[in-house]
């Protein structure tokens, strides 16, 4: 082996020969320059957006969401929240000489399965009296609420609850019944035949509103926002069905839009809007 081959075998630090085009290492074009500028601009834009969302948390990412039926003790306070009801003929209130509404607070003994039903007095809904004023903005576009009935404030403890320790469950019933003559209404009910005909001919419905919440994914500090649920149920004279409304505990977990944020759990009672 001659000396040049031996040197080539062990010399890995020598410089390799390079090709040049008109004295330049690369063959540059205007199109290539534009594509390079565009690529760096896109990378810079995405970097700025990521940094902005990281420090401000403008958008919340829901990672996990579920609605759970209450199989555990709970208590949901309805006092001063929207809980309104009315029987309507189209958009007009039904004359009480046809029908009456009977709201009941029901306390059931889970051991004996016997219930105590407490009739609740009601009055026209009014913000600041039987509905908290903070809900005015929430329902400002819905004028029907102030034409409905609400439970008289400070007369009943409006709580939905389940306490297995003491064996009690509390819930509400709303009955719609045909007007019956008595000293309380001065025997002013319409004749039964007229009531039956009215119920079969007119578009009678039971409207009820109650408090719930909505999820605002752009609000990282308070994602659970007050809202209300509206239901309309048709009523006929021979109507024999029962409507059930279940308010559930809703649980969801989320972050605030950043890869490095901890996952936060939020929960509340109601229907998700």
According to the model, what pLDDT value does residue 10 have?
66
Planar angle of CA 203, 208, 212, nearest 5 degrees = 145
Q: Does 213 map to a domain? A: yes
Q: Which residues contact 231 (CB under 8 A, 6 or more apart)?
A: 207, 208, 209, 243, 245
**Using the 8-state DSSP alphabet, how is residue 45 labeled?**
H
What does the pLDDT read at residue 92?
84
Residue 242 lies in a domain: yes
Q: Where in the sequence is the domain holding 252, given as residue range(s)?
A: 63-270
The burial class, CB within 10 Å (0-12 / 13-18 / 19+), for 216 is: middle
Residue-level pLDDT at 60: 45
Residue at 22 is within a domain:
no
The answer to whether residues 254 and 264 touch, using CB atoms and an 8 Å cutoff, is: yes
Which residues, in sequence order, are bridge partners of residue 17? Answer: none
Determine, yes or no, domain membership for 58.
Answer: no
Q: Mean pLDDT, 10 residues at a time, over the chain (273 residues)?
A: 64 68 70 84 84 57 46 77 85 88 91 92 86 70 74 85 89 88 86 90 86 74 77 78 74 59 67 53
pLDDT reported for residue 69:
47
**Is 225 inside a domain boundary?**
yes
On whether residue 190 sits in a domain, the answer given is yes
Total domain count for the chain? Answer: 1
Q: Please tell me the predicted confidence (pLDDT) of residue 64.
A: 42
| Domain-embedded: residue 15 | no
In a domain, 39, yes or no: no
Both tokens assigned to 28: 């540059």
Residue 243: its pLDDT value, please? Answer: 78
């Amino acid at each position: 082996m001659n000396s040049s081959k031996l040197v080539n075998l062990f010399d890995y630090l020598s410089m390799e020969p390079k090709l040049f085009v008109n004295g330049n290492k690369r063959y540059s074009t205007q199109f290539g320059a534009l594509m390079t500028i565009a690529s760096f601009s896109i990378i810079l834009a995405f970097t700025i957006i990521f940094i902005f969302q990281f420090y401000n948390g403008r958008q919340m990412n829901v990672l996990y969401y579920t609605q759970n039926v209450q199989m555990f003790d709970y208590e949901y306070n309805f006092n001063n929240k929207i809980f309104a009801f009315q029987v309507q003929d189209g958009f007009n209130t039904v004359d009480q000489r046809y029908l009456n509404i009977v709201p009941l607070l029901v306390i059931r003994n889970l051991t004996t399965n016997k219930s105590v039903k407490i009739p609740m007095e009601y009055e026209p809904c009014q913000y600041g009296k039987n509905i908290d004023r903070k809900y005015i903005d929430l329902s400002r576009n819905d004028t029907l609420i102030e034409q409905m009935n609400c439970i008289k404030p400070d007369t009943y403890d409006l709580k939905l609850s389940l306490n297995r320790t003491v064996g009690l469950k509390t819930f509400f019933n709303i009955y719609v019944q045909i007007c019956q003559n008595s000293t309380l209404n001065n025997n002013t009910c319409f004749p039964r035949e007229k009531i039956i005909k009215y119920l079969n001919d007119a578009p009678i419905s039971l409207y009820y509103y109650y408090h719930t919440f909505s999820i605002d994914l752009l609000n990282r500090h308070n994602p659970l926002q007050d809202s209300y649920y509206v239901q309309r149920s048709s009523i006929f004279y021979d109507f024999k069905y029962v409507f059930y409304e279940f308010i559930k505990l809703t649980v969801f977990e989320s972050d605030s839009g950043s890869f490095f944020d901890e996952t936060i759990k939020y929960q509340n009672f109601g229907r998700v809007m």
